[in-house]
Structure 1
Amino acid sequence: MERPLTVLRVSLHHPTPGSATFAYVPPQLEHDTSPLLVGRGPDAHLRLQLPRLSRQHLSLEPYLEKGGARLAFSLKALSRKGSVWVNGLTLRFLEQVPLRAVNRVAFSGIQMVVRIEGGTSLEAFVCCFHLSPSPLIYRLHAEETDERESVPQEQPPPGSGQ
């Protein structure tokens, strides 16, 4: 009897309309328990076409918590030239943070929300990708910039309630 896979529901947004940023994003990707690489390189499992993005920018890393019966995940920053913002924390090269049930991530102008729906399989997981035409994050609680250039964060429009 097969065990249900953990599902990562990943919503992605980039502010450039009609860009080719998400040209290589599949609707769904089943993956073993090795790190899932995100970047612009040919070896990235989730390829995003942005010149400021590193070939391997970050990874989603499944692991089994001590005494746990389900996969847990962490996010690890792999870029030497840019940072990754996760749930209010700014990660630099090789820093990582455990993920919660719902996670807000920003890097190189991309906004990403990762929702984890736990399954019981310890051998694989599946990512379901959704491309959002609307911004996913309105207020960053930590600075999300690339080290080479500082980009001021936009404030939400007045009356948006955010």
Structure 2
Amino acid sequence: MEKPLTVLRVSLYHPTLGPSAFANVPPRLQHDTSPLLLGRGQDAHLQLQLPRLSRRHLSLEPYLEKGSALLAFCLKALSRKGCVWVNGLTLRYLEQVPLSTVNRVSFSGIQMLVRVEEGTSLEAFVCYFHVSPSPLIYRPEAEETDEWEGISQGQPPPGSG
């Protein structure tokens, strides 16, 4: 009896190019336990043709945690020029972070939401891709206030004393 595969449900969004940015993305991609490469290069498993994207921009890498029988995943930044934003952390070249059950990823204008559903197979995993018509990540912009302008120079800032 085959063991169920771990599933990565990946939603993709690009604010200006829309669905055309993901024209070459298959709806389903089964992969062995080697790193899954994303980029614009010929060796990328998931190829996206975007000008700011590196040939090998990032990888999703399965691994086993000590004492676990289930695949876990990390995301590694492979671009020397760009960076990747994952769950509030900025990754630079060769930096990686473990993925949780739901992950928000942003790079080269792309927004990606990755949901990990555990399976028991250690031989492969499967990705299901969905192109979203609307933004996946909402990062509130910092608001400028004039709060500090009303404080006289001689008084310490609130909460500092």
Superposition TM-score tier, normalisation by shorter sequence = 0.7 to 0.9
CA distance in 2, matches of 1:16, 1:119: 35
Partner of 2:104: 104
Structure with higher helix content: 2
How far is 1:23 from its partner? 1.5
Please provide the CA RMSD for this pair. Answer: 1.6
Partner of 1:133: 133
- Displaced runs of 4+ in structure 1, greater than 4 A? none
Q: Given the alignment of the two structures, is residue 92 of structure 1 paired with residue 92 of structure 2, yes or no?
A: yes
* Cα deviation code 1:26-85 (max 9, x no counterpart): 000000000000001111111111000000000000001101010000000000000000
How far is 1:16 from its partner? 1.9
Matches within 5 A, 1:3-152: 3-18=3-18, 20-139=20-139
Residue 136 of structure 1 aligns to a residue whose secondary structure is coil
CA distance in 2, matches of 1:154, 1:114: 25
Q: Which runs of 5+ in 2 are unaligned?
A: 144-161
How far is 1:20 from its partner? 3.1
CA distance in 2, matches of 1:35, 1:18: 27
Query: What is the identity, as a one-letter code, of the residue corresponding to 2:9?
Result: R
Question: Normalization by structure 1: what TM-score?
Answer: 0.85
Partner of 1:148: none
Question: Normalization by structure 2: what TM-score?
Answer: 0.85
C-alpha contact 2:13 2:19 (8 A) present in aligned 1? no
CA distance in 2, matches of 1:17, 1:75: 24
C-alpha contact 1:23 1:49 (8 A) present in aligned 2? no
Bigger Rg over Cα: 2
